[in-house]
Amino acid sequence: MSDERDHVREQVAALISERAQEAALTLSKSVRPLIVPTDSGEPDQFASCVLFSAGAQDFLLTAAHALDYAASKVLYVGGTADMVEVIGERFQTVPESGRRADDRCDLAFVALDSGVKTQLQDCIFLGPSDLNLDERPLSVAPRRSFYLVVGYPVSRSRVHRNKGTLSSGQFTLTTVPSSSDVYKRLDLSEDTHLAVEFHRQQSRNTLGHTTAPKPIGASGGGIWRFDSLVGPADTRDTLVAISIEWHRKRDKVIIGSRMPLVIEAIRHKYPNLSEALPTPRRLQVNIKDRQDP
């Protein structure tokens, strides 16, 4: 009997992995790698981003620590064929202490110049209807929520020195929400953050058990509510958070900052887009500009 149960579990795990890969193929056109040149001129893929549009303005959403890394460098986003220079005004969260380690939001966005999207012809910019600003996890079976984390880990990037190009392999994780105890231990609010489980050495793919890559470089990628996994064929998956942290010791989780935080920051800087942006119903976000000394 136990052998039969194990066989069923393996079949279910393989089916989940297959569905996740199918979904990720579509999402990969909206989640792209971020790249800077090294001192020697080689491409260095270091983080991920999500492409988003509201009204006539296009944005690149990512983690604030990613823009810190690229602060004094030319920044590129990996298109489906070529690298495209990221040109536009940059904004990022800053804690009162000024120390990035104290920044619990760790969010950033770039308001892209119009020519950038033109060069990213094969990529897909998400719209307001692709977001879910009021999502909350269901933690108890059979109505447990599933999530899909998509990004580009550094370990899966390869530099082709003879061509001066770089290829980036995608990281896709199907997972479930963490318990409320995790939020308490990490001093996070379930209103502003999402914690999902990531047991790297207990992962599975379509072939069975595997060790997943370290998600270093996947920061700035997206976390979707993966409702299409168990819903009808026409069920849409919605973006609920931007991934910002990986905890690997006691709490084996990936942390995301929820979408209301970055959407309200965009609204604050671009009030002319207010009608084009969705409004969170469950969370009020107060944004203030940093006063530089």
Instruction: Name every residue whose Cβ is closer than 8 Å to that of residue 260 and which is 6 or more positions away in sequence.
Output: 133, 192, 280, 283, 285
In a domain, 67, yes or no: yes
Q: How confident is the model at residue 89 (pLDDT cuts 50, 70, 90)?
A: very high
Are the C-beta atoms of residues 95 and 102 closer than 8 Å to each other? yes
Residues 6 or more apart whose Cβ sits within 8 Å of residue 188: 104, 182, 195, 255
Q: Does 290 fall in a domain? A: no
CB 112 within 8 A of CB 51: no
Query: For residue 239, what are the domain limits?
Result: 2-275
pLDDT of residue 129: 96
DSSP run (H or E) holding 93: none
Tens of pLDDT, residue by residue over 250-276, are 888 999 999 999 999 999 999 999 999
Count how many residues are written for the chain: 293
pLDDT band at 202 (very low <50, low <70, confident <90, very high): low
Nearest-5° Cα angle at 263, 262 to 266:
90
191: which residues sit within 8 A by CB, 6+ positions away? 258, 282, 283
Element of type H or E holding 44? strand 43-54
Which residue's structure tokens are 């012809």?
A: 121
pLDDT mean over 70-98: 90
Is 201 inside a domain boundary? yes
The sheet carrying 88-92 orders its strands as 83-85, 76-78, 31-37, 43-54, 57-63, 107-112, 88-92
215, pLDDT greater than 60:
yes
Query: DSSP readout, 147-203?
Result: EEEEE--GGGEEEETTTTEEEE--EEEEE-BPPHHHHHHHT--TTTEEEEE--GGGE
The pLDDT of residue 211 is 63
In a domain, 280, yes or no: no
In sequence order, which residues have a C-beta less than 8 Å from that of residue 89 and are 6 or more positions away?
A: 110, 111
Mean pLDDT, the chain, rounded, equals 86
The predicted model gives 179-187 an average pLDDT of: 93
In a domain, residue 205? The reply is yes
Query: Within a domain: residue 291?
Result: no
Give the type of residue at 189: S
Q: Mean pLDDT check: name the lowest of 5-9, 132-136, 265-269.
A: 5-9
Does 161 score more than 70 pLDDT? no
Residues 257, 143: Cα–Cα separation, whole Å: 23
Number of domains in the chain: 1
pTM of the model: 0.89
| N- to C-terminal Cα separation, the chain | 69
Q: What is the dihedral of CA 255, 256, 257, 260, to 10 degrees?
A: -140
Q: Is residue 117 part of a domain?
A: yes
- What CATH number is attached to the domain comprising 210? 2.40.10.120
What token pair was written down for 143?
């109505």
In a domain, 155, yes or no: yes
